[in-house]
A and B are shown apart, each in its own frame.
Chain A
């Protein structure tokens, strides 16, 4: 853990440096597309004292000055599959965004959708013996959380304190300065496959960019597409992406669970492609133009030309009714949603006060999906679009960009993570000067 703890601290430092320079890029590495946004931090609130969130949910401090999307190559299930191809795709997106912004970008905040995220709830206890809770106590109580053995080949992506309790009072957001005996904390930790993170690291490094932060795509799409009361009362965000479907559960404005289902829109496309014997590109096109999940009687009569390029007239003039297309798509979408249901059940979603489910991501644009989802996931389902941010082009405001937009919010107003707090004193090297200074500070 120490390794990633340090690298996360380093990334946080780099993110601060990028904010100072005022330009930072957002990179959403997805299975079907790679989106790059260039943000400029020069809004009216840049020099405002840090007090609360600020106007327009803190978004007035930045502006999107460049946006580009490219077809993703070499990414499968949200993980880097072919390194060179992915690097090229990232380069394409970054170059186009830089060209639009007309500014050179050196720092990148990325998100990854796959890499088998796994959530852990941790708790720690610290005896503060009737004293005032200090920042050092908070770091120590977080350090005292007993971390489960999550495996050697995994890394911690997020570790956020979700709740603090002081004696019998729970639900404290900031216990500093309060007096009590026993300080407890609940922490949500998200681990991912180390190799997937390293591959992304490496791809970005090969593009001469510096990684200034990394986030889970399920988390950031929840940040952008859930409204405030949903985040407060409890809601799940389901990001139907290309290769994976991410889900994140929010409660009291904190992510308390995240997971991903390794199925997405590309599986629907490949089902169409296999079922109708057509190339993937044609299947993608007819899915986006004619796709659906609820067939009606009129769909039997709506014939879709699926074409072909063989020279055989019969083969090239094939048609398929929309009902047939829906018949191919629906089982796969149902399968995805049922898998999501299973994960939510396992996470105990039904115990939350709010049961809102928000569908977002490119896959949520399938007509009739909300009806199907409400049958499987529960009654409170809505389709979510990302928040509007300043300067975002019209082409990038759809639900497919919810994780990219969420990443801009993540860049502007990051949640405090474990590594953002002070290092607990006992973790300093034994003979550190800093530790000696600290001892003097604490005792005199």
Chain B
């Protein structure tokens, strides 16, 4: 009997269908490297871009996207790890710290993303009494401001105002009266602040004269005059003023020169120190000379 289920004849040739002309061409096209790359990479990218573009074209979608981004950013930035709670300012006196605190944010807590530390540092360093500052958000959410104040080394009298000058010649504040900082030497004159180190050397070299020194005056932006009390002046040369000053000190030690009635000691020509006496002293000298000459003549 034949079975009811008809089985495929086992000796039939294996199925070997020919591809259609279109299928053959399609396969060949897909095996072409350039075309294949375009289809596999270019088309998906194009599709994704088209979908994203059509979604983005609607204004409400754009707004929603912007809102989502802003919210996400906000929630990230407002995390407690990033919040700044307190502020520590170190390294300055009370007046400076008050000025600095005015430049820092007033309301805490604030997110550290909202703080522009670089700008803050620039603002603080723009203050006159501060040489440099470091601003950072340290441990425990504290805004740490480390100040390095300028150290004034001299007073600079300029058109009636008294300025504090540090070693670099930069102004470090103003004072009302000379009496406030008697410990600092006084300089004056145009261009004096640029030669502050030379001025300091001269002050250091003044030695026994230091009690009598009133200050240094820059003359013609080229040389120094040292002004003593009793309106005496030492005119120092532009070249090597310190050794000239040393010679004056030596003369003073030998001749007790500056205690006499001398108005000006002119050291500008170092080969020929010149003295100018006061008017009365000059008259007296002339009178003495006349007397001596008369006596000699008789």
* Chain A residues with a Cβ under 8 A of chain B: 70-71, 73, 88-89, 91-92, 94-95, 98-99, 102-104, 207-208, 281-282, 285, 307, 309, 311
A contact residues around B58 at 8 Å (CB):
none
Question: Which of A94, A104, A207, A281 has the most chain B CB atoms inside 10 A of its CB?
Answer: A104
> Which of B8-16, B127-135, B151-159, B167-175 contacts its partner?
B8-16
Given contacts A91-B19, A92-B19, A104-B31, 11 further A-B contacts (CB under 8 A): A73-B18, A88-B18, A92-B16, A92-B18, A95-B19, A95-B24, A95-B27, A98-B31, A103-B31, A285-B11, A307-B11
* A309 adjacent to B9 (CB under 8 Å): yes
Map CB proximity to A onto B11-43 as digits: 1 under 8 Å, 0 otherwise.
111001111010111011001110000000000
B2 within 8 A of partner (CB): yes
A103's nearest neighbour on chain B, judged by CB, is B31
Decide: A207 near B24, CB < 8 A? Known: A92-B18, A95-B19.
yes
One of B2, B13, B27 near A98 (C-beta < 8 A): B27
Chain A residues, CB < 8 A from B2: 311
Which 5 A-B pairs rank lowest in CB-CB distance, beginning with the nearest? A88-B18, A104-B31, A285-B11, A92-B18, A91-B24
B residues less than 8 Å from A89 (CB atoms): 18
- Shortest CB-to-CB span from B18 to chain A, Å, is 4
**Chain B, residue nearest A94 (CB):** B24
Per the bound structure, the CA–CA distance linking A88 and B24 in Å amounts to 10
8 chain-A/chain-B pairs, Cβ below 8 angstroms = A71-B13, A71-B16, A91-B18, A91-B21, A92-B16, A92-B17, A92-B18, A94-B24
- What size tier do the contact residues of chain B reach? 10 to 19
Given contacts A281-B12, A282-B11, contact A208 B28 (CB under 8 A): yes
Interface of B is mostly: loop
How distant is B84 from chain A, measured CB to nearest CB, in Å? Answer: 61
**Min CB distance, A208 to chain B, in Å?**
7
- Contact of B32 with A104 in the complex, beta carbons under 8 Å: yes
A91 to B12, CA, bound (A): 22
| Chain B neighbourhood of A99, CB < 8 A | 27
How distant is B242 from chain A, measured CB to nearest CB, in Å?
83
Contacts of A98 in B (CB 8 A): 27-28, 31
By a CB distance below 8 angstroms, the chain A residues around B23 are 95
Complex Cα–Cα for A311 and B3 (A): 11
Q: Are A281 and B13 neighbours in the complex by a CB distance under 8 Å?
A: yes
Considering the complex, give the chain B residue whose CB is closest to the CB of A286: B11
Residue in chain B with minimal CB distance to A279: B11
Q: How far is the CB of B30 from chain A (nearest CB, A)?
A: 9
Residues of B within 8 A of A91 (CB): 18-19, 21, 24
B22 to chain A, nearest CB (A): 11
Give the docked Cα–Cα distance between A102 and B28 (Å).
10
Q: How far is the CA of A119 from the CA of B261 in the complex (A)?
A: 144
A residues less than 8 Å from B24 (CB atoms) = 91, 94-95, 207-208
CA distance A234 to B20 in the complex (A): 46
| Nearest chain B residue, comparing its CB with the CB of A84 | B18
Nearest B residue (CB) for A283 = B11
Complex contacts, A208 vs chain B, CB 8 Å? 24-25, 28
- Which residues of the partner chain B approach A92 to less than 8 Å between Cβ atoms? 16-19
Which residues in B have their C-beta under 8 angstroms from that of A73?
18
In the bound complex, residues from chain A placing their C-beta under 8 Å from that of B17 are: 92
Residues from chain A with Cβ under 8 Å of B18 in the complex: 70, 73, 88-89, 91-92
Given A98-B27, A104-B32, A311-B2: A281 and B11 interface contact (C-beta under 8 Å): yes
B28 and A70 contact, CB distance less than 8 A: no
Q: How far is the CA of A104 from the CA of B36 in the complex (A)?
A: 11
Shortest Cβ distance from residue B23 to the other chain A in the assembled complex, whole angstroms: 8
A102 to B36 alpha-carbon distance, docked (Å): 12
**Distance in angstroms between the alpha carbons of A73 and B16 in the assembled complex:** 11
Closest to B14 in A: A71
Q: Which residue of A lies closest to B36 (CB)?
A: A104
> Across the interface, which residues of B come within 8 angstroms of A104, CB to CB?
28, 31-33
In the bound assembly, the distance between CA atoms of A91 and B20 in angstroms comes to: 9
Residue of A nearest to B25 (CB): A208
Q: How far is the CB of A319 from chain B (nearest CB, A)?
A: 15
A285 to B10, CA, bound (A): 10
* Minimal Cβ-Cβ distance residue in A for B6: A309
Q: B12 touching A70 by the CB < 8 A rule?
A: no
How long is the Cα–Cα vector from A99 to B32 in the complex, in angstroms? 12
Interface centre among A94, A95, A103 (most CB of B within 10 A): A95
**Complex: A207 Cα to B24 Cα, angstroms:** 8
Q: Which residue of A lies closest to B24 (CB)?
A: A91
CA distance in complex: A37, B9 (Å) = 31
Q: Chain A nearest CB: distance from B15 CB in Å?
A: 10
